[in-house]
Each structure stands twice: as structure tokens, then as C-alpha cells.
Amino acid sequence: MVKIVGKFKILPGVEEEYLAELKKCILATRGEPGCLEYTAFWNEDENVLTLFECFRDSDAAAKHLEYPHYAVDFRALKKYYAAKAEATRYENPIV
């Protein structure tokens, strides 16, 4: 199992547009074979989106990066970032 936690600081004034575009990507990702979870939480006070991704294995996580909704849509979302995105990857849960 692979779990990825990403944090995205969003520019002020574009939140609604960003979230509308992001929701399309999230729904597409949830339909990928091997995707176990893809959930986003919005922190309005900090203008930060935290994304929790969970894939069956490393192959499914790698394949995610090849789908058109990632290769095109997610990369297009960078225009909304106020800072570089942060991501932490976790593998091999102990329980």
C-alpha cells in the first residue's frame, strides 16, 4: 500500500476556481484501478488544500502519474499555487 499526503498553498482570490477544477481531477482519479482513496480537505483559514492519496501498491501509484487527468489537468493547477507543493510518501504500513 502507498499513501501520499500532499499540501497545496493556494493564491488568494482563486479558491473557487481552483476547487472546481480540482474536483474534476479527484473524481477521475477515484475511478483509477488501484486507487483506494483520494480525498481532499480545504483549510479556509490558511488557504491550504491537503490531499490524501492511497493506492494499492507502487505500480498503481506510478500509473496514476500517466493518466491524462494527472498529466494534463493536475499540472495545469500549478498556476493557482502560492508556494511549491509539499508531498510525503508512505509505504509498507505496519498494521
Asked if the model's pLDDT at residue 90 lies above 90, the reply is yes
DSSP per-residue codes, 55-92: ESSHHHHHHHTTSHIIIIIIHHGGGGBSS--EEEEEES
Kindly report, residue by residue over 15-37, the tens digit of the pLDDT. 999 999 999 899 999 999 999 99
Output the average pLDDT for the chain.
93
Asked if the model's pLDDT at residue 69 lies above 90, the reply is no
pLDDT for res 20: 92
Asked if the model's pLDDT at residue 81 lies above 90, the reply is yes
Using CA atoms, how far residue 61 sits from 10, 21, 31, 37, in Å, is 24, 21, 13, 11
Asked if the model's pLDDT at residue 73 lies above 80, the reply is no
